[in-house]
Amino acid sequence: MGIFNNLLGNASELSNNDLQTELAPVLFEGEQVDAGFKVFRDKWVFTNRRLIMINVQGLSGNKKEFHSLPYKSITQFLVESAGTFDMDAEIKIWVSGQAAPFQKELSKGVDTVGL
């Protein structure tokens, strides 16, 4: 189901422990990963302090863009759980100073309300 979700652009959940290790160089002291999601090579990682959006670029994937979004910048958010016919969940996050929200579609079964 992972390949199918990637083809549809739906994010799948990642292991918090693996992300904690992978992101150790960019995490603040005491910062903990709460949840992480991946679509193809890009990731959204929620920590106890901020949202980190990782955009992997280039053919080799060596070039990465890290976008750090402190929670205090979030003005509103929307979570939509998956339904019977709508198989994916969705999250939208509005940030102060930007009209358009950041958004991701998540795989069915992701606890969007808990997030």
- Write out pLDDT tens, residues 66-102: 999 999 999 999 888 766 555 677 888 999 999 999 8
Q: Give the CATH number for residue 13.
A: 2.30.29.50
Total domain count, the chain: 1
- Write out pLDDT tens, residues 25-67: 999 999 999 999 887 788 989 999 999 999 888 888 888 899 9
Q: Tokens representing 63?
A: 């070039």
What pTM was estimated for this model as a whole?
A: 0.74
Structural domain of 84: 2-106
- Answer whether residue 115 is part of any domain: no
With beta carbons less than 8 A apart as the criterion, state whether 107 and 89 touch.
yes
> How many CA within 13 A on the CB side of residue 47?
23
